Every structure is written in structure tokens, then in C-alpha cells.
Amino acid sequence: MLHSSNIYPILPIVVLGFWLGSCGKSSQELTQEARNLLQKQKYEEAILLLNKAIDKNAKNAEAFNARGVALFELGKYNDARLDYEQAIRLDSSNYKPYYNLAELYRVQKKYAQALQYYHKAIQKNAEVADLYLNRGVAYYNLQDTAQALADFRKAVGLQKDNKLAWFNLGNLLFFSQNPEHIQEAALCFEKAINLDTTFQKAYVNLAQSYLRLNQKEKACQKLQQAKAMNNAEAVQLYQIFCTQP
């Protein structure tokens, strides 16, 4: 905070300039400025702009959806839900507020409700990998591994550079009793690492896949790499599997 008396005379000019500037901007322009603030994680500032955008145009569905995102990030889930629902009422063709509602329910562990909105979002736009990735997580938490597996496969098919999709697919395959699935799991973890060489958990899971495939040397090599990144789980596994003759 600035407390110097030499600074205070400047503030009314800055505030006045901002007020005049925002007053002359359209609802859509204010919404775009708010999106930029959201990307910078300036959620409260974004809400102020979005309030003005909505005052200018109460039918601006994008502004309601964006304000819902800001409220969600601030943990104001009920207010976020109301904004997402209003965005849908104003424009039911956009998949984003359906997806955002699904995410809201997912983080609250209301997975069955989340699924309803993932389904609706996918009906609006079936080409977004994250819809399948996160719906797969909801299915997994409902212990529907078959549907989760199908969604993770769909996600990597749509977006081959999505490291989390590869990682999640690998995790599901890893717990299969089918040896071919273990080999595929290893390939998935390798892809995740190729996309992010600092992805420590992928190194650990790849090492464990190699152990199940009786490829101890490869497993220890991956654990060594994870150890170099100070991964505690890798240190423990290395001690168990790689220090004995």
C-alpha cells in the first residue's frame, strides 16, 4: 500500500481516468478486459469490470459466464452457479457454462451432478479434450472405470499434447490385470514425460510400470531421474528396489 503524501494527489486523476475510460467502453470490450484479468488471476478486479459489463448489457451471456469463473476461483460456489445458469439461459448454445457447472460440481465431489453437465457440454461441442478428461475423472470417482477409460482415450485422441490425459490413461491401464495394458500404461507415462520432462509423478509411475514388466534396470533409471528432482516417493522406491543386488 502507498502511504506517501506525495502520491495521494495523483490517485483521483488515475481513478477518474479509469472511470471515464470504462464508462465509454462497450459491454463486450469490458468483458474482454475482464478475461485478461482472469488470466492474471486478478479475480476481484475482473468482477468489478464484469459488473459494469452486465450493467451495460444484461443479456451479455459471456460476461455472466466469466463472472462465474471469477466467483468460482474465489470459492463463492453458489454465486458462481447462479451466474453460469444465467449464462445458459441467455445462450444455451455455448458449451462453456455447462462445462463450468460440471467443474463446480466435480470439485464439490458431486460427481453424478457433474456428469449431467459434462454430457450437455459435450452435446454442444464434442471436440474439446478437457471435457472428456474431466468427465473421465468424474466417472473414475464413481468407480465406472470402463467409461473413464473410454473418456481418457477420447481425450488423447483429440489432443495428443495433453499430458494429464496421457497420465490419467496410464494410471487406469496400470491397474489392469492385462499385461498388454501394463505395456500401454508405460507408453502413456513416456508420452506424458516427453510433454513435460519435470512431471515427477509420471517418472515414478513409469518406473512402477517397468517393475511390473520385470524391467528393473529401466525402472531404476526412471526412479533415479525422479530422485534428482527430490521426489520423496522415488527415493523410497529406489531404496526398496534398486539398492539390493
CATH of 37-92, one of 1.10.1200.10, 1.10.10.60, 1.25.40.10, 1.20.140.10: 1.25.40.10
For residue 108, the one-letter residue type is Q
- pLDDT for 95 beyond 90: yes
What mean pLDDT comes out for the span 163-169? 97
- Report how far residue 171's alpha carbon sits from residue 206's, in angstroms, rounded to the nearest whole number: 10
Helices marked H in the chain: 11-23, 27-39, 43-56, 61-73, 77-90, 95-107, 111-124, 129-141, 145-158, 163-174, 179-195, 200-212, 216-228, 232-241
Which of 205, 206, 217 minimizes the C-alpha distance to 241? Answer: 217
- pLDDT for 14 beyond 70: no
For 140, how many CA atoms within 13 A lie in the half-sphere containing its CB? 18
Contact by Cβ (8 Å): 185, 210:
no
Contact by Cβ (8 Å): 97, 129:
no
Q: Looking at residue 163, what is its pLDDT? A: 97
245/18: higher pLDDT: 245
- Report how far residue 132's alpha carbon sits from residue 148's, in angstroms, rounded to the nearest whole number: 9
Q: Name the strand (E) or helix (H) holding 170.
A: helix 163-174
pLDDT tens across 33-78, in order?
999 999 999 999 999 999 999 999 999 999 999 999 999 999 999 9
Q: Looking at residue 76, what is its pLDDT? A: 98
Contact by Cβ (8 Å): 156, 162:
yes
Domain boundaries, given as residue ranges, for the chain: 37-92, 102-144, 159-245
- Report how far residue 41's alpha carbon sits from residue 47's, in angstroms, rounded to the nearest whole number: 11
**Complete DSSP assignment for 32-70:** HHHHHHHHTT-HHHHHHHHHHHHHH-TT-HHHHHHHHHH
- Report how far residue 185's alpha carbon sits from residue 193's, in angstroms, rounded to the nearest whole number: 12
pLDDT tens across 38-47, in order?
999 999 999 9
CATH topology of domain 159-245: 1.25.40
pLDDT tens across 182-195, in order?
999 999 999 999 99
Do the domains 159-245 and 37-92 match in fold?
A: yes
End-to-end, the C-alpha distance of the chain in Å comes to 61
Compute CA distances 63 → 66, 99, 130, whole Å: 5, 16, 22
- pLDDT for 172 beyond 60: yes
For 88, how many CA atoms within 13 A lie in the half-sphere containing its CB? 19
- Report how far residue 125's alpha carbon sits from residue 138's, in angstroms, rounded to the nearest whole number: 18
Using alpha carbons only, give the angle 37, 40, 42 rounded to the nearest 5 degrees.
60
- pLDDT for 13 beyond 80: no
Q: Looking at residue 180, what is its pLDDT? A: 87
